[in-house]
Amino acid sequence: MEVFDTIKNYLEEIANSELNSQEVLEQFRIRFLGTKNIIKPLFAEMRNVPNERKKEFGLALNELKDKAEEKYNLVKSQLDLSADKIKPKGLDLSLPPEPMLKGSRHPVSIVMNQMINIFEKIGFVVEEEREIEDDWHNFTAMNTPEDHPARDMQDTFYLKNSVTNLLRTHTSSVQARVMTTQKPPIRIIAPGRVYRNETISARSHCQFHQVEGLYIDKNVSFADMKQTLLYFAREMYGPKTDIRLRPSYFPFTEPSAEMDVWMGTDTDTTKRLTKGTGWLEVLGCGMVDPNVLKNCDIDPEVYTGFAFGIGVERTAMQKFDISDIRLLFENDVRFLRQFSSVV
C-alpha cells in the first residue's frame, strides 16, 4: 500500500539525515517530533488499512516514531558534548552563579499526554475543535432534549446576547463535528478544555479538561468497549487493576455506565478517595445512542459504536494526591515546581 511506502521513505530519510548543527537538528525535530510533525497524519490512515494489516501498520508507525526519537536524542547528546568541550573565553570564576531553575510540565498536561499516548497505541486519532460552540453540536446532535437541565443557564455559559452560541460543556461536540464530516469507521479521542457554570470549590471548578473517545464501525459491541477501557485502566493505574461498570444515564448513550477502578482501602488516602468503598469512579461510557447516529447522518442499522469521557483533573488529583482542584488553575509556581521531575 502507498502508506507503507511513505513510512519506508521516512525511515530512509531519518537514517540518511546528516544532523551536524543545532539548527539542522531543530529542523529535524520540528519535522518528525514537533506538534505538527509529518508522522501524526499517518495515524489517521489506520481506518483505510485492511484489518489483517492493521497490526503491521501500527508496528511500522511505532518503529518510525522510535527511530526519529533515537536519532534526535543521539545527535543531541553528541552536539551537547561537543559544546561542553569548547572553553569559554574570559570566564570570571569569582562571579556568583545565576540560579538555574528547571521548568516543569503542568500536572494536567502530564496526565492528558499519558491518556493520549495510551489510546494512540490502539489506533485512536486525536481530534481537536473550537471551544466556542453552537447549540446544535453541543446539545441537539448529542440527543439532549430541549427541556434537559444541562441546557439551563445555571449549567452553561452562553455568550452575551446569544441563545445559540456557548462555551462547550463537553468535548462531545468534537465527536458531533467528526461524525458529520467523516464516514465510519471512526476511532478518535477528543482532549480539551470545557466549561460549566458551577460553584468553584475544592472538588469542582467552572473549567476543567476531558478526554473523550468515540469508536464507530460495523458490529461494535459493549464487550469491545469494556475491553478497551480495561486496557486503558491497566495502562493508567497498573497491570493488575480491576474495573467495574455500573448502570448510569447519559442522553447520548444507551445503555450507559460509570466505570470504577479498584483502589482498595489499605491506606487513609484510598479510603478518602473512595469514600471507604475501595472503588474510584473515573469515567462515564456507553453505546452511542441510535438517535445520535441519525442526527449525524450515520445509519444505525449498519453501524454501532461506543463513547467514553474521562475527567483529567480528577485523575491528576488521584495520581499526585492533590486535595484541592483550585491548585491546578492558580499557577502558583511553588506548587508547579513539585512536578519538575515528572515527564
Residues 197-246 have pLDDT tens digits of 888 988 889 999 999 999 999 999 999 999 999 999 999 999 999 999 99
Q: Give the residue with greater pLDDT, 118 vs 151.
A: 118
Give the residue from 13, 23, 15, 14 showing the smallest Cα distance to 76.
23
Domain ranges (residues) in the chain = 2-84, 107-339
Point out which residues pair with 158 in neighbouring strands.
Answer: 166
Identify the pLDDT of residue 172. 94
Identify the pLDDT of residue 187: 97
Quickly state the pLDDT bin for 19 (edges 50, 70, 90).
confident
Q: What's this model's pTM, rounded to 2 decimal places?
A: 0.69
- Report the run of H or E that residue 285 belongs to, with start and end: strand 279-288
Place 97 in a pLDDT band, splitting at 50, 70 and 90.
confident
Nearest to 308 by CA among 231, 225, 216: 225
More confident call, 153 vs 60: 60
- Whether 100 shows a pLDDT value over 80: the answer reads no
Which is more confident, 46 or 138? 138
Cβ atoms within 10 Å, residue 179: 24
In sequence order, the 6+-apart residues with CB closer than 8 A to the CB of 13 are: none
Determine which of 47-56, 277-286, 327-336 has the lowest per-residue pLDDT on average: 47-56
Model confidence at 261: pLDDT above 90: yes
The secondary structure of residue 99, as a DSSP letter, is P
Separation of first and last alpha carbons in the chain: 36
Which position has the higher pLDDT, 87 or 180? 180
Q: What is the average per-residue pLDDT within 253-264? A: 94
Domain 107-339 in CATH: superfamily? Bira Bifunctional Protein; Domain 2 (3.30.930.10)
Decide if 194 contacts 170 (C-beta within 8 A). Answer: yes
Q: How many Cβ atoms from other residues are within 10 Å of residue 228's Cβ?
A: 19
Average pLDDT over residues 143-171: 83
